[in-house]
Structure 1
Amino acid sequence: MVRPLFRGSRLGLETAAAQALEALGPRLGFELAYRAGPVVDAHQAEATARAALAQGLDLLLVQQVTFATGEVFLPFFELPLPLGLWALPEVWEGGPLPQNALCGLNLGVSLAQRPAKWFYGRPEEEWFQRRLELTLTALRGVRVLREGRVLLLGGHAPGFFAFSALPETGLRVERAELSELWTALAEVDEEEVRGRVQALEELSEYAPEELLQSVRLELALERLAQGYDGVALREWPEVPERLGIMPYAAMARLADLGYTLAAEGDVMGLASMLALRALSGKPALLLDIAHLSPKGLTLWHGGEAPRVWAAGPTRLAPHFNRRLPAVRDMALKPGPVAGLRLLPGRRAAVYGGHLTGEKGYEGDSGHLTRPTWAAQPLTPRQFLASWLNHRLPHHLALGAGALEPALLEMCAWLGLEVLPPQPEEERLVW
């Protein structure tokens, strides 16, 4: 936006800023895919907004080179695109005001009726880069939740009624019966099964021939997962009853290969995992809150975690309850983590903390300390109280890294209400 009345409109500031922004792209992982000419009035703004929409952008930055009035902003506010409003600093101090761009940014922000993020500074400046990098991270989650495609295989596990909810962000959910899994199993090539068993390098309590059925399941699931961003699988009771194995080692090995699978048919958990993976660039986990102790909150699941999350050696072991082959037994590695639980009604829980690296129960497990909720520090007991007071489903999705700020911004772009902590420990909360 350029207002010719201001001296700053004639200095070529927009050209220099665009070149600097484009040079920043390779480091922050974005492409400057569309660049408009200067917009001076509402008519040009309408034409530019239409052209920008046709580009299929993930983010549109509207740059305040100089001051502009409200009618020039309005066509951009109407676009169904994430919008950034960016003011350039003044080129000199004292004398005639050259641009008045910051005041223009203030005016624009005051008129916005939906999420729009403000930016101030030059592309070379650290503050500008930090704010932009956070937005780019958040928008990777927005993209997968709006444009992704997942498979719900077999529905949710029996009695887990909370897992029947589906995302409301645009994520496409396709359904298939477990009969498709049995068909895929029957078509698995036995030579491929034996080759993959022989290639296993993981510590194991089982002889190779005892893992053949697990690897058959792995190959069948891998085939069904093709073309999808993730699979939510009803893995019990049918898989152990029909195949005589637990599916978790197969799911763990597929996670090693880059597939995202959610247990118990939890589609909302799967969507949460996909967002966490998009933000962190690493696999995400689904876990239960199993115990509260002086060590923190014990997080646990049956044994489907990828090895990248392991604090040390992993092993293939019997299932803790059914004693069937096989699960991956491992401690979750120490470090900062963050989590997301998408909920019906366009709501979400956003949380974080640190894993200690100490193992808990058999399967994949660890202890969460220094928890936060919507970026507010809590004690482990307050975190547990908040989870239960909000009556959240029993799967907690976890991603690697300090992702909470990006998750909160992602929820803002998606129009999701982030639940506040509710750490009441004594009275009934409903």
Structure 2
Amino acid sequence: MPRPVRPKIAYVSAQLPSYLAAEHRVVERSEQALDRLALALDFERVGEWPCVTSRAGAEVVAREAEELGVDMVLLQCSSFAMGDVVAPFGDGRYRLGLWAIEEPRREGPIALNGFVAMHLHAGVLTSAAAGAPRPYKWFFGLDDHPWLRDRLAVTVAALRGIRALREARIASIGGVAPSFWSLAVDERALRARLGVQIDVHDLGDVIVRARSVAADEVDRVVDDLRRAVRSVGAPDDDMRLGAATYVALREVALEGGYDALAVSDWPLFQETLGIHPGMAFSWLDEHDGIPVASEGDVMGGLSMRFAGALATGPAMLLDMNDVDLAADAIIMWHCGGSPLGFADARGATWDVHSTLGRKQPGAVPRGAVADLRFRHGPVSLLRLRSDGAELFALDAEVVAHPTAGFDGSRGWVSAFRDADGPRSAADVVSTVLSLGVEHHIVLSDGAVAPAAREVAAWLGMRLTPTVPYRDELVASAGGAR
């Protein structure tokens, strides 16, 4: 199973003794606030250091934080602090947060002057003297203030996403599906940029493994599969072949310690086993937490792992299949490899693949794949592009629609939003088609696009720009290719 991602955040207090941080218990109150947030947001507060009052002291703490492998240092100006104390924290591999709290009173002699110090530190980090600028994020207040509580919630999710990318191991099984050239990836460029490791496997090995799975193990898996759904419409033989394929893929995933798989689901599966492996994909994600990207889409698999870390839940790889302008909605669909947890109150079924062998004379409908409608609510649409150099990210909602959508895993999506505000379905279509955004888009639970965009800011990725719909030809606005 993918490794759990729980960020480590170090709190460091910087101050001058001539101010009143001690009298107002700034450090104690701040540590208590962070501990409450650590429980609520699921991060670990690590490290205990004396208050930093000089550059020499800052250098010691910065080095020790690096050795602890923290994901972020929150450098708090507990009172005013000199500009040189921030400099050593600008060189670490961790992310840097600048923090100040509100003044205990807003008249008379100033007690803390921490906001001014944070402002000074921001200027130091962006000055020519600091060398190449590096990103940082500011925070303000204690855990009852939105500028700490809400901003840190986005950052903790982003730190999970960064860790998931840095540690990701992806299995490419069978390569990219025939003619799906836009899904190709430069493995060396991706590893250099994000640290992602990709291992290549022969799909024939999976077929051999599937044919070798013991009958009693297939029986156990089929029983689990039947209990997980409302009904089963797929033939027994297909259920057994799908279960054996699940076991084979799971073996590969566990043996390699993979966080996601990218599998070419056609044509070899059909030529050898006569099935589509959608049920196996669905169950590997639902039961084991290992996302599987169809058609050998490595960046799709990585995007699923990334989105899952942001949302702390599963994600789906989908196509955009149709547009209803009157409803300002787009149907997101795939043939049936989605995790069952996305199903609405109707639940899911295992059924035959809706197009496999459909026009072949004498062909019998084969499966098995998941058939479900997505539950309504907030979601995000994400895609890592250009070997990790670019990010497509939108928030949206799964909404009600008069039609049920196409057989398979599906839902109508609307209420699109990017960093600048609401966008129409026409704007989304214009963007993906004008810029050639790869046709697999990840849909994840919850509004995690802000956290995804923060990851892009930390790692220097560009954002795929929205191309507003117009009737005339829109020149390429600088997409991934």
Instruction: Please indicate the TM-score interval, normalised by the length of the shorter structure.
Output: over 0.9
* Partner of residue 215, structure 1: 243
> What's the TM-score once normalised by structure 2's chain length?
0.85
- C-alpha distance in 2, partners of 1:375/1:277? 24
From 225, 238, 252, give the equivalent of 1:224: 252
Relative to structure 1, the CA distance from residue 391 to residue 15 in structure 2 (aligned partners, 3 Å threshold; closer, same or farther) is same
Q: Report whether the alignment pairs 1:94 with 2:124.
A: no
Q: Residue 341 of structure 1 contacts residue 349 of structure 1 at CA under 8 Å; is this kept in 2?
A: yes
- C-alpha distance in 2, partners of 1:122/1:214? 52
Give 1:335-346 correspondences, 5 Å limit.
335-344=377-386, 346=389
Q: Residue 301 of structure 1 contacts residue 364 of structure 1 at CA under 8 Å; is this kept in 2?
A: yes
- The runs of 5 or more residues in structure 1 that have no matched partner are none
| Residue 391 (structure 1) shift | 1.3
Q: Report whether the alignment pairs 1:180 with 2:205.
A: yes
Q: Provide Cα deviations, 1:2-43, integer angstroms capped at 9, x if missing partner.
A: 122334366542233223322432222122111221111111
Q: Report whether the alignment pairs 1:392 with 2:422.
A: no
Give 1:81-120 correspondences, 5 Å limit.
81-112=94-125, 113-120=133-140
From 453, 475, 481, give the equivalent of 1:429: 475
| Matched letter for residue 206 of structure 2 | L
Q: Secondary structure at 2:222's aligned position in 1?
A: helix
From 281, 286, 291, give the equivalent of 2:317: 286
Q: Residue 340 of structure 1 contacts residue 398 of structure 1 at CA under 8 Å; is this kept in 2?
A: yes
| Matched letter for residue 313 of structure 1 | G
* Partner of residue 328, structure 1: 370
From 304, 309, 320, give the equivalent of 2:342: 309
Give 1:54-73 correspondences, 5 Å limit.
54-73=67-86
| Residue 110 (structure 1) shift | 2.3
Q: Secondary structure at 1:128's aligned position in 2?
A: helix
| Matched letter for residue 83 of structure 2 | G
Greater displacement, 349-358 / 393-402: 349-358
| Residue 158 (structure 1) shift | 1.4
Q: Residue 372 of structure 1 contacts residue 383 of structure 1 at CA under 8 Å; is this kept in 2?
A: no
- C-alpha distance in 2, partners of 1:214/1:223? 14
Relative to structure 1, the CA distance from residue 193 to residue 357 in structure 2 (aligned partners, 3 Å threshold; closer, same or farther) is farther
- C-alpha distance in 1, partners of 2:234/2:455? 44
From 206, 217, 230, give the equivalent of 1:192: 217
| Matched letter for residue 315 of structure 2 | A
- C-alpha distance in 2, partners of 1:357/1:405? 24
Q: Report whether the alignment pairs 1:171 with 2:196.
A: yes
| Matched letter for residue 268 of structure 1 | M
| Matched letter for residue 355 of structure 2 | N
* Partner of residue 356, structure 1: 399
From 159, 179, 185, give the equivalent of 1:139: 159
Q: Secondary structure at 2:137's aligned position in 1?
A: strand
| Residue 375 (structure 1) shift | 4.8
| Residue 70 (structure 1) shift | 2.4
| Residue 126 (structure 1) shift | 4.5
| Matched letter for residue 291 of structure 2 | T
> What's the TM-score once normalised by structure 1's chain length?
0.95
- C-alpha distance in 1, partners of 2:242/2:236? 10
Greater displacement, 238-247 / 402-411: 402-411
Q: Report whether the alignment pairs 1:262 with 2:293.
A: yes
- C-alpha distance in 1, partners of 2:138/2:372? 44
Q: Secondary structure at 2:251's aligned position in 1?
A: helix
Relative to structure 1, the CA distance from residue 357 to residue 173 in structure 2 (aligned partners, 3 Å threshold; closer, same or farther) is farther
- Give the RMSD, CA atoms, in angstroms: 1.9
| Matched letter for residue 90 of structure 1 | E
Q: Report whether the alignment pairs 1:272 with 2:272.
A: no
Q: Residue 373 of structure 1 contacts residue 383 of structure 1 at CA under 8 Å; is this kept in 2?
A: no
From 398, 422, 425, give the equivalent of 1:377: 422
| Matched letter for residue 260 of structure 2 | G
Q: Secondary structure at 1:8's aligned position in 2?
A: coil
Q: Percent identity?
A: 31
- The runs of 5 or more residues in structure 2 that have no matched partner are 1-13, 126-132, 357-364, 477-481
- C-alpha distance in 2, partners of 1:392/1:115? 27
Greater displacement, 357-366 / 241-250: 357-366
Relative to structure 1, the CA distance from residue 331 to residue 375 in structure 2 (aligned partners, 3 Å threshold; closer, same or farther) is farther
- C-alpha distance in 2, partners of 1:352/1:16? 35
| Matched letter for residue 234 of structure 1 | S
- C-alpha distance in 2, partners of 1:393/1:105? 42
| Matched letter for residue 172 of structure 2 | L
Q: Secondary structure at 2:275's aligned position in 1?
A: coil
| Matched letter for residue 96 of structure 1 | P
| Residue 124 (structure 1) shift | 4.4
Q: Residue 101 of structure 2 contacts residue 114 of structure 2 at CA under 8 Å; is this kept in 1?
A: yes
Q: Residue 375 of structure 1 contacts residue 405 of structure 1 at CA under 8 Å; is this kept in 2?
A: no
Q: How many residues end up aligned between the 2 structures?
A: 430
* Partner of residue 5, structure 2: none
Q: Provide Cα deviations, 1:342-392, integer angstroms capped at 9, x if missing partner.
A: 111611111121112443111111211122233531111111001111211
Greater displacement, 51-60 / 193-202: 193-202
